[in-house]
């Protein structure tokens, strides 16, 4: 069983960011020509820095990564008419070629404002725009990637909330629907709710182990792993998992800076009988430093053979 680790957003190790932004309020204070010139410069810088981050990942043998959705400011704002694809076409292609050449998996996870099952039409329409934006980026780069979503808010009962999700999901273009993977959340929709919906919609499920611990009612994870793995069978991708460590007992839902090694090893032993390769995204505030620390710990663990910084093979129970 091969495991590949990834991390989220810009690394602390580099003195750069690809998330430079401008608010709409500040954008509107400027003359139109100046405003769009500034926006263009920001995106230019972000794309240059994004490529530097990818090169940093390559140098450190990290091939699984979650990019920030803020790489293009105001991209989905209804009053900003900005061609963020064609203006930077050559850079998108260059970035995509680098990703493909180095066999990287680069996914995304829109923010909390992407809620397909909202009862607010404006929120739903904005969610459509956010998903289209993510699709446009992946298409411009020439890569096939996944966007992780939660089922969303409750607003009534679960059945109604899931029904709203399905209705709005089917309003999306098929290309965008094929990009979506659903993740169980920490309060409302548990692994059973999420898995059942994924199977019905024929889309993959991203298991979040931390959320599972926060939101379960006696479900045993190993009873559902076969089905979760099976949702990925036609994607050509390894099943994706989110892993994080609770900050403390009082703030159990919050993510810790680093990964608790013993908890991670315990989780690996749950996965081992299924004999499947997995991509595990570490959702830690320490970002790549959390990955590096965990990698060093795993290197000296019996039963584990480390191939590089982020990839290792488990041969037997640890």
**pLDDT (0 to 100) of residue 213:** 97
| 102-117 pLDDT tens trace | 999 999 999 888 999 9
In a domain, 142, yes or no: no
**CATH number assigned to the domain comprising residue 78:** 3.20.20.150
**Residue 215 is assigned to a structural domain of this protein:** no
- Residue 30 lies inside a defined structural domain of this protein: yes
Total domains in the chain come to 1
Q: Concatenated DSSP letters for 5-43?
A: EEEESS-TTSS--S-----HHHHHHS-HHHHHHHHHHHH
What single string gives the DSSP state of each residue in 200-252? HHT--EEEEHHHHHHS-SS--GGGTHHHHHHTTTTTTSPPEEEE--BS-STTT
Looking at residue 281, its pLDDT comes to 98
Residue 278's domain comprises: 2-107+244-314
- Please give the model's pTM, rounded to 2 decimal places: 0.95
What are the backbone dihedrals phi and psi of residue 182, each rounded to the nearest 5 degrees, phi first? -100, 145
How crowded is the C-beta side of 284, counted as CA atoms within 13 Å? 26
Q: Is residue 210 part of a domain?
A: no
> Does residue 234 lie in a domain region?
no
pLDDT digits (tens, 9 = 90+) for 31-71: 999 999 999 999 999 999 999 999 999 999 999 999 998 99
Residue 128's pLDDT band (cuts 50, 70, 90): very high
Does the residue 27 lie in any domain?
Answer: yes
Render pLDDT for 255-281 as a digit per residue (tens, 0 to 9): 899 999 999 999 999 999 998 999 999
């Amino acid at each position: 069983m091969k495991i590949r680790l990834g991390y989220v957003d810009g690394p602390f190790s580099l003195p750069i960011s690809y998330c430079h932004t401008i608010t709409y309020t500040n954008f509107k204070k400027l003359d139109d020509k100046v405003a769009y010139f500034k926006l263009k410069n920001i995106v230019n810088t972000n794309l240059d820095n994004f490529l530097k981050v990818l090169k940093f990942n390559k140098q450190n043998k990290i091939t699984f990564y979650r990019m920030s959705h803020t790489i293009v400011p105001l991209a989905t704002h209804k009053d900003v008419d900005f061609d963020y694809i064609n203006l930077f076409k050559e850079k998108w292609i260059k970035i995509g070629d680098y990703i493909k050449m180095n066999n990287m998996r680069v996914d995304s996870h829109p923010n909390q404002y992407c809620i397909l099952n909202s009862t607010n039409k404006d929120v739903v329409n904005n969610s459509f725009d956010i998903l289209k934006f993510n699709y446009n980026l992946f298409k411009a780069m020439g890569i096939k990637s996944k966007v992780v979503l939660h089922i969303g808010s409750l607003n009534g009962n679960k059945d109604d909330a899931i029904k709203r999700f399905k209705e709005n999901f089917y309003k999306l273009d098929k290309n965008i629907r094929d990009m979506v993977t659903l993740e169980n959340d920490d309060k409302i929709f548990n692994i059973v709710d999420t898995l059942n919906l994924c199977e019905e919609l024929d889309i993959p499920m991203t298991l979040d182990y931390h959320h599972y611990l926060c939101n379960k009612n006696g479900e045993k994870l190993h009873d559902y792993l076969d089905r979760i793995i099976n949702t990925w069978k036609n994607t050509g991708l390894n099943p994706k998992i989110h892993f994080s460590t609770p900050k403390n007992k009082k703030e159990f839902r919050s993510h810790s800076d680093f990964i608790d090694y013993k908890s991670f090893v315990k989780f690996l032993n749950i996965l081992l009988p299924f004999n499947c390769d997995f991509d595990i995204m570490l959702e830690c505030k320490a970002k790549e430093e959390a990955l590096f620390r965990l990698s060093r710990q795993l290197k000296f663990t019996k039963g584990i053979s480390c191939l590089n910084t982020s990839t290792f093979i488990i041969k037997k129970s640890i």
